């Protein structure tokens, strides 16, 4: 081997060692933060999940009870609507005895569309709620970005990064996405989106990926809306996911006033880490509650991770991701006026073991 080749190999090895060192330091920092933040029940659930990881098929079959009916009257740790006063972005919201849900960051476009990045630190849960006319949300979920990747794609490059977004993302994607950003608990001020179009940045691909914003709400709420929603979502190309823990899809194409989608399959509850909600509000606002079930004091409790109302003639969505595989459900309800107002909504929910695939 020539001296030039030897020097080249040494430089490559040195660069790889440097990257590995930075990744180890980032992982250690995030692990320390998580250990200081997760409550005892979440740590217990996480450790149990790790122990049972090799027995996933057996655990899935033994622990799933018969399907239960979700009713609005069940115990819920409600949180303030993310559409509320902007002052709430700097504070936590919580139920009487439940975990605290926080607004980690809020990114707004010039036309008013906004992405709200949410978290339940004590439970190891993060999420994204979209308030807008629909184009950007539908473009975003067509690529299924992680909350971390979506934040990095939208926020100005010198903006601090809420550490919880990085801690719950895939380990291999953390370092290139975090980059030189300073980690923080939350970004208090409202941020302005770096670009008016959605460009999802992928590690290793400089410049990002162009995602067209060419979806419209009109077709989904028009005279042929049920068929269009059914064709686009219910009967569209769906990712199956892992063979032993397939993705679960629940789709409501008909105009509805209230419906609950559960992470159930074959009449049994299934535990999943990720769930995604998409809804079209036609003629009246729609309220969307995104929930998961956590271990409480000698009992299991339903926690409302996000609770917001979307105005009519809009498409909204919630993407939620946790460290722990949990039972999850999404409750859609027509809102506005003493009787809910005219119209209704169409909805699609996806529950999966991983964010993608």
Say how far apart CA 352 and CA 158 lie, in whole Å. Answer: 33
β pairing state of 76-77 and 300-310: parallel
Q: Is 162 within a domain?
A: yes
Q: Is 16 within a domain?
A: no
Say how far apart CA 282 and CA 342 lie, in whole Å. Answer: 9
The DSSP symbol for 231 reads I
> Taking Cα atoms as reference points, which of 204, 206, 118 lies closest to residue 168?
118
Q: Is 78 within a domain?
A: yes
314 vs 259 pLDDT, higher one: 259
pLDDT at 72: 37
Q: Is 120 within a domain?
A: yes
Q: Is 1 within a domain?
A: no
The number of distinct structural domains making up the chain is: 1
Average pLDDT, stretch 127-143?
A: 73
Domain around 345: 38-352
Question: Residue 49 — pLDDT band, cuts 50, 70, 90?
Answer: confident
Q: Is 206 within a domain?
A: yes
List CB contacts of 327: < 8 A, sequence separation 6 or more.
262, 263, 269, 270, 271, 292, 293
Q: Is 340 within a domain?
A: yes
Would the pTM of this model clear 0.75, i.e. be above it? yes
- Residue 346, pLDDT > 90, answer yes
Question: Among the ranges 63-77, 79-93, 120-134, 269-283, which has the highest mean pLDDT value?
Answer: 269-283
Region for residue 170 given its phi and psi (left: phi exceeds 0; alpha: psi -120 to 50; beta: otherwise) = beta
Q: Is 284 within a domain?
A: yes
> 183-207, pLDDT tens digit by residue?
999 999 999 988 776 666 555 444 4
pLDDT at 74: 37
């Amino acid at each position: 081997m020539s001296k030039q080749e030897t020097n080249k190999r040494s430089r490559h090895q040195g660069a790889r060692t440097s990257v590995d060192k930075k990744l180890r330091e980032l992982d250690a920092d995030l692990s320390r933060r998580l250990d200081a933040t997760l409550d005892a029940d979440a740590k217990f659930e996480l450790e149990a999940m790790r122990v049972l990881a090799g027995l996933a098929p057996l655990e899935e079959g033994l622990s799933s009870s018969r399907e239960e009916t979700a009713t609005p009257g069940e115990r819920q740790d409600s949180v303030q609507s993310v559409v509320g006063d902007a002052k709430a972005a700097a504070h936590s919201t919580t139920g009487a005895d439940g975990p605290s849900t926080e607004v980690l960051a809020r990114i707004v476009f010039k036309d008013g569309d906004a992405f709200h990045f949410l978290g339940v630190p004590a439970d190891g849960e993060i999420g994204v709620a979209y308030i807008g006319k629909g184009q950007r949300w539908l473009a975003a979920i067509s690529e299924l970005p992680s909350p971390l990747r979506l934040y990095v794609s939208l926020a100005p490059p010198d903006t601090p990064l809420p550490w919880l977004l990085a801690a719950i993302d895939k380990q291999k994607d953390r370092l290139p996405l975090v980059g030189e950003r300073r980690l923080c608990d939350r970004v208090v001020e409202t941020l302005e989106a770096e670009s008016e179009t959605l460009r999802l940045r992928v590690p290793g691909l400089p410049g990002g990926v162009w995602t067209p914003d060419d979806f419209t709400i009109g077709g989904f709420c028009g005279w042929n809306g049920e068929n269009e929603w059914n064709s686009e979502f219910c009967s569209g190309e769906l990712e199956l996911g892992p063979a032993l823990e397939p993705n679960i899809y629940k789709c409501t194409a008909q105009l509805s006033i209230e419906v609950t989608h559960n992470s159930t399959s074959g009449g049994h509850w299934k535990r999943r880490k990720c769930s995604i909600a998409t809804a079209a509000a036609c003629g009246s606002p729609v309220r969307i509650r995104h929930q998961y079930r956590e271990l409480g004091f000698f009992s299991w409790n339903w926690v409302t991770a996000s609770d917001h109302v979307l105005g009519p003639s809009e498409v909204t969505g919630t993407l939620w991701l946790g460290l722990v595989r949990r039972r999850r459900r999404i409750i859609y309800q027509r809102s506005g006026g003493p009787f809910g107002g005219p119209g209704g909504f169409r909805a699609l929910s996806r529950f999966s073991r991983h964010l993608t695939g």
